[in-house]
């Protein structure tokens, strides 16, 4: 599949390509070569990086950025800009070069010179939040493509809500062979095809090369047929022919389906010996090769220098959408005042604190008046009944477990290809695609996505959860069936190590509420955390309501608090989360019968607790002689609370298939076990 670049092929674009619309005086090839030169120079200077992809895709990117992409470097957060996702994040220099050339103020030539250096905004792979114009963090292949699906869903939903006079943009993606080989891409393209996301346009860098060599070593998929089978419109073009690229993009503007344009390119285009070869993929070309490439491309300026006429043609391309932006501003101003204020609020990601507080208060008042012995997944639905009408930015979903996850309230309408005004997404059995699409929605803005699956399948979502945490985006994962407490489905479905594994991800809040009241409070905390993702781990089995008093404050906000205990000194402190808090309370009662005073601390969120001031942490951890932790999961992570000499009652193996009460007995997670362990440690046995 790979196209070998011959010297003629390398020189060809300059002669036969038409001129860009942005600046008729400058040939397309010169503009594309500016990208190639910057990529070569930056990688050479950094002594690391990936020159091959930017050199290969320079023509495609030039056509896209000079003729099609709607964007304004001076207004990078313009809500109605087209989104551009470089899914093949290893080609980061392509994006940095484009941002510099089109005139993003922060992306100076100095930053390009400091590619991959500490403190620069030009990280090895594009990092969301480092540089304006970087729409998402990419590098783990497949993620960007799946993020883009979420962005395109967000666009359609917000257009349905606010009208296409203010929301009407495209989502463009550059994806590589690696992106398309990753499993997540199948989930993403299937969902996009099903929802007929016709404003999603993927430019596939069809270069037939990956790290190990020719793609034929490991892949023989016909991508055109694959995408067509998923409901896309797909075509193939010469990725070095601007006219062909342009006409494919032109056609894509009016598509009724998502669009794949497979662009046949030569990796490392222009390099004399490495073009078309894996050797140009991920390391500096070397001085001789760079020299040869410059000769072939006819590029004479010194390293990092872009001739003034070429730079000004690029800057003109960057200014192309100024009139569109002005028109958009006029249309926004013409919106009804209430709608406009709401649009601004939504795009800023500012929740209505008043609406949220009132919704949670309603839930808590109801629970104080009529306590509920229900599973926390059911409590979640109860909370959502108040939250969904109060917070229109919440878009729910489930990976084909809607009835089990309880993430859909009665009034919620599903999003369909024909009608995007709904607020619930049937993601299908696509946990990874779901989590990545949620990131895309959060990145797009205007939406707080939440979803549902079983906690054990957090493994299937983990790469995207990690990226949400790295990017600091508010996405909320409702993960039910959170322990052996799910019972008969057995060890394949019973999470054991998952809480520890999720808690290991920096910047992720893992909530495990113990009853209906804590569930409502944890929802509030997740929604208020506008710069980080959350997981709500919820039970399948019913739990008693332990909090019967109406608390005006959010008692879960500090991550851990004493939920039961003696007024004075305690000999034993029992820490527990979720379903095990009730067991801890019962254990404390058994100890009281033996004259031992025990306090019970509910720990709905480790991360929030461990971030409290030392004074609070000390007070909660306390100085009882015996510290016990209970969680129907592995011990890892618990020593921070109970100390390495604390007693842990939990799981040391996988679970088993049986009714859940029997499982708790079999694995020794009982009130009796708690009392026995405490008494033994106190020498009372």
> From the CB of 463, what's the least distance to ligand TPP, in Å?
7
Question: Under rule CB under 6 A, which residues in 73-132 are in contact with ligand TPP?
Answer: 88, 90
Which position among 431, 518, 521, 631 bears the catalytic label?
431
Tell me how far, at minimum, the Cβ of 202 lies from ligand TPP, in Å.
Answer: 14
> Which residue, 80 or 205, is less far from ligand TPP as judged by CB?
205
Among 239, 252, 205, 191, smallest CA distance to 69 is for: 252
Residue number, 155 or 431, with CB nearest to ligand TPP: 431
The piece of 172-180, 314-322, 465-473, 669-677 that touches ligand TPP (CB under 6 A) is 172-180
Q: Which of 148, 209, 525, 546 binds ligand TPP (CB under 6 A)?
A: 209
Please give the Cα distance from 36 to 30 (Å, whole number).
Answer: 10
Q: How far is the CB of 183 from ligand TPP (least distance, A)?
A: 10
| DSSP designation for 473 | -
Work out how close the CB of 436 gets to ligand TPP at its nearest, in angstroms, rounded to a whole number.
12
Size, binding site for ligand TPP by CB under 6 A: 18
Among 281, 346, 466, 493, binds ligand TPP (CB under 6 A): 281
**Residue 197, both tokens:** 């996301």
Cα 644 to Cα 646: distance, rounded to the nearest angstrom? 6
52 contributes a contact to ligand TPP by CB under 6 A = yes
Give the orientation angle of helix 516-528 with respect to helix 376-390, to 10 degrees.
50
Phi and psi at residue 323, to the nearest 5°: -65, -40
**Own/partner pairs, 330-335, CB within 8 angstroms, 24+ separation:** 331/165, 331/166, 332/166, 334/165, 335/162, 335/163, 335/165, 335/166
CA pair distance 146, 362, nearest whole angstrom = 37
* Residue 438 φ then ψ, to 5°: -60, -40
The site string for ligand TPP over 237-276 (x = CB under 6 A, - otherwise) reads ------------------------------x---------
Pick 73 or 91: Cβ nearer ligand TPP: 91
What is the length of the chain? 685
Under the binding rule (CB under 6 A), the answer on residue 72 touching ligand TPP is no
Of 109-117, 148-156, 201-209, 434-442: span binding ligand TPP (CB under 6 A): 201-209
176 lies in the binding site for ligand TPP (CB under 6 A):
yes
603 binds ligand TPP per the rule CB under 6 A: no
Q: Is 211 in the site for ligand TPP (CB under 6 A)?
A: yes
Classified as helix, coil or strand, 500 is helix
Binding mask 136-165 for ligand TPP (x = CB under 6 A): ---xxx------------------------
Applying CB under 6 A, the span of 75-83, 209-217, 338-346, 488-496 interacting with ligand TPP comes to 209-217
Q: Least distance (Å) from ligand TPP to the CB of residue 110?
A: 26
Which of 122, 185, 210, 246 binds ligand TPP (CB under 6 A)? It is 210
What is the per-residue binding string for ligand TPP in 541-580, x denoting contact by CB under 6 A?
Answer: ----------------------------------------
Relative to beta strand 374-375, strand 542-543 is: antiparallel
The closest of 232, 178, 229, 236 to 208, measured between CA atoms, is: 178
Q: Specify the residue, 217 or 326, whose C-beta has the smaller distance to ligand TPP.
A: 217
What CA–CA distances, in Å, run from 653 to 484, 485, 495, 583?
11, 15, 11, 20
CB of 277 to ligand TPP, least distance (A): 10
Q: How far is the CB of 80 from ligand TPP (least distance, A)?
A: 31
CB 394 within 8 A of CB 438: no
* Closest-approach residue to ligand TPP (CB): 178
- Taking CA atoms, 591 is separated from 95, 338, 586, 644, in Å, by 63, 59, 9, 23
**Minimum distance from residue 342 beta carbon to ligand TPP (Å):** 38
Rounded alpha-carbon distances, angstroms, from residue 119 to 132, 555, 612: 15, 39, 29
Q: Which is nearer to ligand TPP, 53 or 166 (CB)?
A: 53
431 as an active site residue: the answer is yes
CA distance 624 to 77: 53
| Other beta carbons less than 10 A from residue 270's beta carbon | 34
Count CB atoms within 10 A of the CB of residue 214: 15
Residues near ligand TPP (CB under 6 A): 52-53, 88, 90, 139-141, 176-178, 182, 205, 207, 209-211, 267, 281
Residues with catalytic annotation?
Answer: 431
């Amino acid at each position: 599949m790979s196209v070998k670049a011959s010297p003629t092929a390398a020189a060809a674009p300059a002669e036969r390509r038409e001129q860009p619309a942005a600046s008729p005086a400058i040939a397309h090839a010169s503009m594309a070569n500016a990208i190639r030169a910057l990529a070569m120079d930056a990688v050479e200077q950094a002594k690391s990086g990936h020159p091959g992809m930017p050199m290969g895709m320079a023509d495609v990117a030039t056509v896209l950025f000079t003729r099609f992409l709607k964007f304004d470097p001076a207004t990078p957060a313009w809500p109605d800009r087209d989104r551009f996702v470089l899914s093949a994040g290893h080609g980061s220099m392509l994006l940095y070069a484009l941002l510099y050339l089109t005139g993003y103020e922060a992306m100076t030539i100095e930053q390009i010179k400091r590619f991959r250096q500490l403190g620069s905004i030009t990280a090895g792979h594009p990092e969301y939040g480092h540089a304006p114009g970087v729409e998402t963090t990419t590098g783990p292949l497949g993620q960007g493509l799946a993020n883009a699906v979420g962005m395109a869903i967000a666009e359609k939903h917000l257009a349905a809500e606010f009208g296409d006079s203010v929301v009407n943009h495209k989502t463009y993606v550059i994806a590589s062979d690696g992106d398309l080989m990753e499993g997540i891409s199948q989930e993403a393209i299937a969902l996009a095809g099903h929802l007929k996301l016709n404003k999603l346009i993927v430019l596939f860098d069809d270069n037939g090369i990956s790290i190990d060599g020719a793609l034929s070593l490991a892949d023989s998929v016909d991508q055109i047929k694959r995408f067509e089978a998923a409901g896309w419109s797909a075509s193939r073009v010469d990725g070095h022919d601007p006219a062909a690229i342009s006409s494919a993009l032109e056609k894509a503007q009016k598509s009724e389906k998502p669009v794949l344009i497979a662009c046949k390119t030569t990796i490392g285009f222009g390099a004399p010996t490495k073009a078309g070869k894996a050797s140009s993929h991920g390391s500096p070309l070397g001085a001789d090769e760079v020299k040869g490439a410059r000769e072939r491309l006819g590029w004479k300026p010194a390293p990092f220098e872009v001739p003034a006429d070429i730079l000004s043609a690029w800057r003109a391309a960057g200014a192309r959408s100024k009139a569109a932006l002005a028109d958009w501003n006029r249309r926004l101003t013409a919106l009804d005042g209430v709608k406009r204020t709401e649009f601004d609020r939504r795009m800023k990601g500012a929740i209505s604190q008043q609406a949220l507080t009132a919704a949670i208060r309603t839930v808590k008042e109801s629970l104080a008046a009529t306590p509920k012995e229900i599973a926390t997944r059911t409590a979640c639905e109860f909370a959502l009944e108040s939250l969904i009408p109060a917070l229109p930015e919440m878009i729910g979903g489930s990976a084909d477990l809607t009835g089990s996850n309880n993430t859909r309230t009665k009034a919620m309408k599903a999003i369909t290809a024909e009608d995007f005004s709904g607020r619930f997404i049937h993601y299908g059995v696509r946990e990874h695609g779901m989590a990545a699409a949620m990131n895309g929605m959060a990145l797009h803005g205007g939406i707080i996505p939440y979803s549902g699956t079983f906690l054990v399948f957090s493994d299937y979502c983990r790469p995207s959860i990690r990226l949400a945490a790295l990017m600091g985006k508010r996405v909320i994962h409702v993960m039910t069936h959170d322990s052996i407490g799910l019972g008969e489905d057995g060890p394949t479905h019973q999470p054991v190590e998952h809480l520890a594994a999720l808690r290991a991800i920096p910047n992720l809040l893992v909530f495990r509420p113990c009853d209906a009241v804590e569930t409502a409070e944890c929802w509030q905390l997740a929604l208020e955390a506008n710069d980080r993702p959350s997981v709500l781990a919820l039970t399948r089995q019913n739990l008693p309501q332990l909090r019967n008093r109406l608390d005006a404050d959010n008692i879960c906000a500090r991550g851990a608090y004493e939920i039961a205990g003696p007024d004075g000194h305690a000999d034993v402190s029992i820490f527990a989360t979720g379903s095990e808090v009730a067991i801890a309370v019962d254990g404390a009662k058994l100890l009281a019968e033996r004259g031992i005073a025990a306090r019970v601390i509910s720990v709905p969120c480790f991360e929030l607790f461990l971030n409290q001031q030392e004074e609070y942490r000390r007070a909660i951890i306390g100085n009882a002689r015996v510290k016990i932790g209970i969680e129907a999961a592995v011990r890892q992570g618990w020593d921070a609370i109970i100390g390495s000499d604390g007693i842990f009652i939990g799981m040391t193996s996988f679970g088993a298939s049986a009714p859940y009460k029997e499982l708790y007995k079999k694995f020794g997670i009982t009130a009796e076990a708690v009392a026995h362990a405490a008494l033994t440690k106190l020498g009372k046995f």
